[in-house]
């Protein structure tokens, strides 16, 4: 596709996409979508409030292990002008009462990681469509459980990977599909985020729920934010497929050092054994010879950084530099050119139609775009914008990196969740009607 055809297709798609999202204002809302919330802590509580921005959504029931968390979510729903939802709370399996209800079309799951896959499987088998937070699974076996449940029930599941919906990442996708970077051969990405002081532990050094994962496992615990956009950039599962993964990890010293600095050498966590290496580096290779480097780095002091880089035969995009170099289009071949003009020219129709509203919400607007499209799919009884195959592909890195690290960095095979269909499957993410 040349540039003229690309822009013509984009404008046509923009018009149709605008029609497809017109009911964001409520003017065209006719079908009511009934969503149950499972897990209403920090993330789940936020998502409850975000879903209340969409007039076609009702929330008949909420669920959390802690009654007070479920109660806060119920208040959020009630304050939005909707009926107060019924609360299911008090034990780990209260969610099963919510799943047994016949007044829900879908559920959103925002619980600790080890509950994601089991709850999503049960929800599909209970006849509900599912939105599940990241990662969708923490083992390869759980990934297969999810795939089988969707195939057997016909109830689809979307992993809620918001970074796939970022303005910049979607513009890069449009540039790739327009051929500006040539054939893509290599990507880099990361979840590099200093989390020691608030995520796995509270301000007094006490464990939060993620702490047990750092104590028990040495792996890339959180690969999906980096990998989300990479899958579409490389046409993974629809033209190519991951073939192998190799992972290595540094020693685990960062958390102990943090507790010594913060609380002194006598704090129990200053000498506690954490299995988690401070930095995990995974290298993925595709069937067609492309490579991806994925970095996980949450225990050492550093600014937040996703480290996205896309290298093609005609040029390169760098998120770190917020710049591109495109052969024959950006001046001197040795210099970076600012990305912002390219972002403006290749902005995705989702952001052209919804960007102003999206920017009033979290994660730079990506949360709004993601959840708006999730709700649209429910309203239209249409496929989700991110399918489950992509969700489990991102999530499989958790278990596969653990296997490779334990084997001394030995490459491990990457499962083909498409069952060989990747050779004929067509890209769908971010595509607009023509």
Contact by Cβ (8 Å): 217, 321: no
- pLDDT above 90: residue 262: yes
- Pairing mode, strands 291-297 and 323-326: unpaired
Mean pLDDT, the chain, whole residue set: 93
Task: Please give the model's pTM, rounded to 2 decimal places.
Answer: 0.93
CA 1 vs. chain centroid, Å, equals: 29
Distances (CA, A) of 156 to 16, 20, 353, 360: 24, 20, 26, 29
Of the pLDDT bands very low, low, confident and very high (cuts 50, 70, 90), residue 331 is confident
The CATH number of the domain covering residues in 31-159: 3.40.50.720
Of the pLDDT bands very low, low, confident and very high (cuts 50, 70, 90), residue 23 is very low
- pLDDT above 70: residue 27: no
Q: What is the DSSP letter of 165?
A: G
- Tens of pLDDT along 183-241? 999 999 999 999 988 899 999 999 999 999 999 999 999 999 999 999 999 999 999 99
The CATH number of the domain covering residues in 163-350+387-423: 3.30.360.10
- Tens of pLDDT along 48-72? 999 999 999 999 999 999 999 999 9
- Pairing mode, strands 309-312 and 184-192: antiparallel
Distance from first CA to last CA of the chain, Å, rounded?
13
Q: Is the dihedral of CA 374, 378, 382, 387 positive or negative?
A: positive
Domain boundaries, the chain: 31-159, 163-350+387-423
- pLDDT above 60: residue 14: no
User: Distance (Å, rounded) from C-alpha 37 to C-alpha 70?
Assistant: 9
86 phi and psi angles, rounded to 5 deg: -75, 140
Residues forming a β-bridge with 242:
286
Mean pLDDT to the nearest integer, 170-191: 98
Of 5-9, 57-61, 105-109, least confident by mean pLDDT is 5-9
- pLDDT above 50: residue 341: yes
């Amino acid at each position: 596709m040349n540039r003229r055809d690309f822009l013509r297709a984009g404008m046509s798609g923009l018009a149709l996409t605008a029609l497809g999202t017109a009911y964001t204002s409520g003017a065209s809302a006719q079908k009511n979508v009934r969503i149950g919330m499972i897990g209403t802590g920090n993330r789940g509580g936020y998502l409850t409030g975000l879903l209340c921005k969409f007039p076609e959504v009702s929330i008949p029931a909420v669920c959390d292990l802690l009654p007070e968390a479920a109660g806060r979510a119920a208040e959020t729903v009630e304050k939005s002008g909707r009926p107060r939802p019924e609360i299911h709370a008090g034990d780990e399996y209260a969610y099963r009462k919510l799943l047994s209800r016949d007044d829900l079309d879908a559920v959103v799951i925002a619980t600790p990681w080890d509950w994601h896959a089991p709850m999503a499987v049960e929800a599909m088998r209970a006849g509900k469509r599912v939105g599940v937070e990241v990662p969708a699974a923490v083992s390869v076996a759980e990934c297969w459980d999810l795939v089988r449940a969707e195939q057997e029930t016909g109830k689809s599941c979307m992993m809620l990977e918001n970074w796939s919906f970022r303005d910049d990442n979607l513009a890069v996708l449009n540039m790739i599909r327009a051929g500006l970077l040539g054939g893509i051969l290599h990507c880099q990405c990361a979840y590099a985020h200093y989390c020691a002081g608030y995520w796995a532990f509270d301000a007094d050094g006490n464990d939060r729920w993620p702490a047990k994962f750092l104590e028990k496992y040495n792996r890339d615990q959180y690969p999906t934010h980096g990998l989300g956009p990479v899958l579409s950039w490389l046409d993974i599962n629809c033209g190519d497929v991951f073939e192998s993964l190799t992972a290595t990890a540094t020693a685990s010293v960062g958390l102990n050092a943090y507790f010594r600095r913060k609380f002194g050498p006598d704090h129990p966590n200053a000498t506690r054994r954490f299995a988690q290496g401070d930095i995990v580096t995974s290298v993925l290779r595709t069937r067609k010879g492309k490579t991806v480097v994925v970095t996980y780095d949450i225990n050492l002091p550093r600014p937040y950084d996703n480290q996205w880089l896309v290298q093609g035969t005609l040029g390169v995009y760098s998120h770190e530099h917020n710049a591109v170099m495109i052969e024959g289009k950006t001046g001197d071949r040795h210099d970076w050119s600012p990305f912002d003009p390219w972002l403006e020219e290749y902005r995705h129709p989702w952001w052209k139609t919804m960007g102003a509203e999206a920017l009033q919400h979290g994660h730079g607007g990506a949360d709004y775009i993601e959840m708006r499209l999730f709700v649209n799919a429910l309203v239209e009884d249409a496929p989700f914008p991110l399918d489950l195959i992509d969700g489990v592909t991102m999530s499989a890195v958790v278990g596969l990196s653990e296997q490779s690290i334990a084997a001394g960095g030995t490459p491990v095979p990457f499962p083909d969740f498409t069952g060989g269909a990747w050779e004929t499957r067509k890209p769908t993410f971010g595509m607009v009607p023509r």
